[in-house]
Structure 1
Amino acid sequence: MSEPLNVFFLCSVQHKEIRKAGESEIRVMTKSCTVDLVTKTDERVEKIIIGSLKEEFGEGTHCFIGEESVAKGEACVLTDKPTWIIDPVDGTTNFVHGFPFVAVSIGFAVNKELEFGVVYSCLEDKMYKAQKGKGAFCNDEPIQVSDVQDIKKSIIISEHGVDRSPEKVTKIFSTMQKILCIPVHGLRGSGTAATNMCLVACGAVEAFFEIGIHCWDIAAGAVIVKEAGGLLLDVNGGPFDLMSRRMVSANSDTIAQRIIKEIEIFPVVRDDALVQKK
């Protein structure tokens, strides 16, 4: 497939929808729990993106996995067919609170292999993009991961997710404590997985890890990290699995493996095993 310039344009114009909603009253609902938020903006932006892609490529020719569509009961299954994986507003909680990291994330896969990804950090006005074998870019400038190999000179980024069960929260913060005490230069979290992965790709941080993320959070970012020279692994050190909801992305295997030593793993339901209530 040729470079999807129409997708880059589509991704960037959505910031107008997000900015407009941010300046007016925001209608907020919850999905899985009181801290898993969705707004009318999420739903509207996803509808615009999917509608535009269907118009561009033809009805029925491509498949779609969208965060809000899955929340409403659509299947979350990655097949060999050309598939768009979409998070219309990554960082909805940030958006609701006015915290300035909100992104549109669009990934594309064929034969279950990710081919390209676009992440538009709306409020920063930064367009990250990558296509398999063609490098990674931010606002058309090439980007690459950090060359730091000493974990003690690194910044690591992670999130605490939306599950507030005491057992999982304990494991999450125990992992963060152990990594902080290696010691590393710092731990950070932007509140959006797509942005976190782009921070790895452009060398601002050395690694991002999380258990509990979804495929739409990281599909685009996965391509961008790899094309910037980074790597992706499972939190147990095995191969990266887009649907597993667990991932380490890093500038190098050295940094990734050191982090993996400290991660306290807890179970999550795979994206392709989720059964949503209609």
Structure 2
Amino acid sequence: MDHQVKEYFDYALQLVKEAGKVLLTAKDYEVESKSDVYDLVTVYDRKIEEVLVKKLKDKWPDHRFIGEEESEVSGIPDLTDEPTWIIDPIDGTANFIRQLRMSAVSVGLVIRKQQTLGIVFNPFTDECYTAVKGHGAFLNGERIYTNGETDITKSIFAYELSLARNPKYLDLYMYRLKHLMKIITGIRSLGTAVMSACYVADGRLDAYQCDGLYPWDIAAAGLIVTEAGGKEFDLMDPNFLVAASKALADEYLIHEKKADEERINAKNIKAIFD
């Protein structure tokens, strides 16, 4: 491993572990809603992001940052060749608020527009997923791999169903589910993008998809999946699919394309008669 990347990784891992300890002691917090009713934020989201960004800036003042709470105010900047930390202080805030043990701190580093390291830590279950590009994926220090599933009929699929509350995604989800539920083994909805993707990385799930994601939702976990042998898509693309193998990802895309075409045709027919 490159000495500089190792320094980045070791320092970030320490900070993420410290942030996780803060979550374990959290109590008496107010909850706010962002632009969407299901998109929630607590003082701990902001507190953890501020601490992570401040300490990383103090260590490397020339680095750039993309964070969930900061981007709510200033927008999402474009990636450059400069080292860029992409941070989600609490992925799965709604789970955190309800004391469901499925939330995580996520930190990724992109250098020259390439995902270089990723750390995802769920302090409630003591699961720490890590990856450095070219050096594999790990859970609590043990090497992990996807299960390599290629047959969609045997697959367990995770989909963020709560986003169907948004009219933008409702029809999209319904048409895709109508097609997929006929052929897959089962479906799960965990309420956290980073943990869902990490469970693909360690073989508990076969595929995970979410539409309308942001870079911080997947910057760390996407690298963890690929380093575990899986398939993932463009970091800056909000419509995201990870799978245990490229063959399985291709199978999902074939069926979803059929569903999307059916949805578009139905809309066109409705427009003709309206």
Query: TM-score, length-normalised on structure 2?
Result: 0.88
Q: Structure 1 residue 53 and structure 2 residue 46: aligned? A: no
In structure 1, the partner of 2:268 is none
- Measure how far apart 1:260 and its partner are: 1.0
How far does residue 261 in structure 1 lie from its aligned partner after superposition?
A: 2.0
More helix by share: 2
Identity %: 36
- 2:123 and 2:84 mapped to 1: Cα distance? 24
Structure 2 distance, partners of 1:52, 1:165, is 36
2:19 matches 1:14: yes
- Counterpart in 2 of 1:41? 44
Report the equivalent of 1:93.
Answer: 94
Distance apart, 1:173 and its partner CA: 2.8
Specify whether residues 135 and 165 from structure 1 end up closer, same or farther in structure 2 by C-alpha distance, changes over 3 A only.
Answer: closer
Q: What's the offset of the Cα at 1:2?
A: 3.1
1:256 to 239, 249, 252: 249
Query: What residue is the counterpart of 2:205 in the other structure?
Result: 205
Matched AA of 2:32: M
Instruction: Point out the more displaced range, 109-118 or 165-174.
Output: 165-174
* Partner deviation per Cα, 1:219-261 (whole Å, 9 max, x = no partner): 10111011101111xxxxxxx3211201211111221111112
Structural mapping, 1:53-202, within 5 Å: 53-57=56-60, 59=61, 61-160=62-161, 162=163, 164-166=165-167, 168-182=169-183, 184-202=184-202
Give SS of 1:12's match. helix
- Which one-letter code corresponds to 2:68 in the other structure? E
Give 3-state SS (helix, strand or coil) of 1:117's partner: strand
Q: TM-score, normalised by structure 1?
A: 0.87
Kindly indicate whether the alpha-carbon contact (under 8 Å) linking 1:84 and 1:106 is maintained by their aligned counterparts in 2.
Answer: yes
- The aligned residue for residue 265 of structure 2 is none
Q: Distance in 1 between matches of 2:40 and 2:260?
A: 25
CA 1:30 to 1:76, structure 2 compared with 1: closer, same or farther past 3 Å?
farther
Structure 1's unaligned 5+ residue stretches are 233-239, 267-278
Distance 2:5 2:169 in 1: 43
Question: Aligned Cα RMSD in Å?
Answer: 1.6
Three-state SS of the structure 2 residue aligned to 1:254 is helix
Deviation at 1:82, TM superposition (A): 0.6
- The whole-number CA distance in structure 2 between the counterparts of 1:108 and 1:166 is 33
Q: What amino acid does structure 2 have at the position aligned with 1:241?
A: D
Residues 111, 174 of structure 1: alpha-carbon distance in 2 compared, 3 angstrom cutoff: same
Unaligned regions of 5+ residues in structure 2, if any?
A: 262-274
Query: Which deviations, in whole Å up to 9, do the C-alpha atoms of 1:35-70 show, x marking residues without a partner?
Result: 11111000000001001111222x2x1000000000
Contact 2:164–2:173, Cα closer than 8 Å, also in 1: no
CA contact (8 A) 1:160 1:169 kept: no
Cα deviation, residue 265, structure 1 = 5.4
Equivalent residue number for residue 234 of structure 2: 241
Aligned-partner Cα distance in 2 for 1:75–1:228: 28
**What is the CA-CA distance between 1:167 and the residue it aligns to?**
5.1
After TM superposition, what 4+ stretches of structure 1 lie above 3 angstroms from structure 2? none
CA contact (8 A) 1:161 1:212 kept: no
* 1:72 aligned counterpart, secondary structure: helix
